Chain A
Amino acid sequence: MVQIFKNIFKSEKSFFFMAPALAWQISFCFLPLLFVIQLSFCTELFQFVTLEYFAEVFKLSHFLVIFRSMLLATVTAISCLLVAYPVAYYVALCAPDRMRSTLMFLAVLPFLTNLLVQVYAWFFILEKHGVINNFLYFVGLDVGHLLNSQFSMYLVMFHVYLPFMIMPLYSTLEKINVRWIEASLDLGASYFQTICRVVLPLSIQGVKTGFFLVYVTSFGEYAIPSLIAGQKNYFVGNLIAEYFFIGKDWHVGAAFTCLSSCVFIVSIRGYQLLLNKLVDRLQRV
């Protein structure tokens, strides 16, 4: 961060180019954030510091909500990663050149569709008399309601966030030279060893970018869970919205926002270490 600021002021040219982005960032991210932080500590604007709002949000039920959001984000990020990696690998390294852009377009098509359109499309597939249930009924299975279940919530989350994972993965995998893979095989490594020791370390930036892109955005997600899985599931997003828009208790809402953000930042750091360790371990396969 400091480095970025140093770079900005190093020359007039870079300042000129960076200024709009910087102004945007300060006025729509840093200043509101500062405002939220002061809301959670002060009873009046930047006055009378108190911890009573935090005391109110330090409850097990609130941590459960944060935990549920983390679980949702984790499951979404991992399931997207597991599916997106082979897809991106195929498109970037195996598919014929002329097919590549078409395949990428198909893969990120959901990204170009409105979120609500996607969610309602899933309604038709998942509802009681929808495509899946009709098919299951036809083969003699009756699974009851698919909507309003955890499974369909994860399914839709997975589908909506998949493009966010495929794009960064594709852009790093695309830079991998097929000769490196061939050299690894030629030197006696199995396909699995080649993936672990050569392809994965060289695409780790894409894995990290994709993972955190999905993790961060799906952490605050509440539209999909409440539409698909019903109102009974509370996530961080729901709770914040409730404090600010329904309960009108901005101070407690701000305190909860700060709390969940802190837990969230710690969890990101944790996943970073975990991912590094995993890649290290896999390189010794």
Chain B
Amino acid sequence: MKGIVLQGITKSYGDDVILDNLNLKIPGGKFFALIGPSGCGKTTILRMIAGLEIPDMGSVFLGHQDITHVPVNKRSVNTVFQNYALFPHMNVYDNIAYSLRVRNLTPDTIQQKVEKVIKMFHLESNLYKSVKQLSGGQQQRVAIARAVINEPEVLLFDEPLAALDLRLREKVLLELIELQDHLGTTFVYITHDQTEALTVADQMAVMNQNGQIDQVGTPKEIYENPKSVFVANFVGTTNIIQGVMVQHGEDWYLDVDKMICIAIKVPEGVEVQADEDACIGIRPEKILISKTMLQGFSNTLSGIVQSIVYQGRFTQYNVRLQNGYMLQVFEQNEEHFEREVIDYDDRVYVYWQKENVVLLKNK
């Protein structure tokens, strides 16, 4: 399956520059997710791949073929639109058969292909219903069926789950993964919801508000090793602490307001200098909270519990450190053994390993 390469893409609407010299490589045959906050230009990228927008500068490649100026109806790319954009004057069958009919295929071929797709998406019982009578989940199936029936090289998803409720969303995500496995088509999935992206993607890219791509990688790489403050904040929850780098022998520490000292493991290939301003990120679930003193951790700090938020599978503690920083800590509510009770205003210790601290580019 062919991948997509965006090269030096620039796009502006009037004086508003949406994308400036953007480069992105989307690997073929993979589930690729592009995430970013609303209005960052991710939909514009999608529309360029679909052919609904033409970049002011730069090129779009499908495989090795430059498709920048290929009209939208001649591209082997199909889109599942936000809110699906099903044709309201047609029934389910006509919607699905639409792309075959405009290609003037014989009725027999159309019948065969539509039946195959209908079986795949379990739409048999709704075949002749008007699309307006369908539920959100069913409409979405029709939208996907309509897009895959052409066997496109690339399938684009523009926030396809935005209109579904949470439970259905989780179910559809798993179905999408299965579908991608089954078809092997390149999927490009656009969302502002990081959990969706983490769930489905083989590869993902994070865009910031300025329309630049901050980081590309597997969901695990992005979650565990965010490169910038923006990525760390956007994907998941994280504690970001600012300070000054100090060196004691071989080891590096972050000095925060001359009050706290946090041990850091500087990854190989990264140059740091003493007295340099720096930013670190530490995920709340990688922090242990306890009222008793424990050994074996490279970082130990103490603080006072300010608030406790019960979230079902975990409990969130907000701990005020010596310098006033509010540290978030997640504790799994596994309840295998009886645990110590932590209450408001308790003095607690928080522990974490320096391997879990991520050094961030501060932008």
Contacts and interface: CB of A to CB of B under 8 A. Distances in A.
Contacts of A177: 85
A188 B99 contact: yes
B85 A187 contact: no
Interface stretch (B76-84, B201-209, B282-290): B76-84
A103 interface: no
B221 to A, nearest CB: 32
Which size bracket describes the interface of A in this complex? 10 to 19
B363 interface: no
B73 A190 contact: yes
Given A182-B81, A183-B81, A188 B52 contact: no
B52 A202 contact: no
A185 B73 contact: yes
A197 interface: yes
Interface string A182-206: 1111111110010001100110000
A137 interface: no
A177 B81 CA distance: 12
Nearest to B79: A186
B72 interface: yes
A182 B85 contact: yes
Contacts of A188: 73-74, 99, 102-103, 150
B50 interface: yes
B15 to A, nearest CB: 15
B340 to A, nearest CB: 56
A212 B250 CA distance: 88
B85 A190 contact: no
Interface string B80-98: 0111011111000000001
Contacts of A185: 52, 71-73
Given A182-B81, A190-B73, A202 B89 contact: yes
Given A186-B78, A193-B102, A180 B87 contact: yes
Contacts of A182: 52, 72, 79, 81, 85
Nearest to A204: B89
Contacts of B99: 187-189
A98 interface: no
User: Counting chain A CB atoms within 10 Å of each CB, which of B74, B86, B99, B147 scores highest?
Assistant: B99
Contacts of A189: 73, 98-99, 102
A179 interface: yes
Contacts of B51: 186
Contacts of A190: 73, 102
Contacts of A202: 88-89
B146 interface: yes
B73 A183 contact: no
A187 B52 CA distance: 12
A187 B81 contact: no
B52 A186 contact: yes
A186 B50 contact: yes
B73 A198 contact: no
Given A187-B147, A188-B74, A188-B103, 19 more contacts: A180-B85, A180-B87, A182-B72, A182-B79, A182-B81, A184-B87, A184-B98, A185-B73, A186-B51, A186-B72, A186-B73, A186-B77, A186-B78, A188-B73, A188-B99, A189-B102, A197-B98, A197-B102, A198-B87
Q: Which 7 A-B pairs have the closest CB atoms?
A: A179-B85, A187-B99, A189-B102, A183-B85, A185-B72, A186-B79, A201-B89
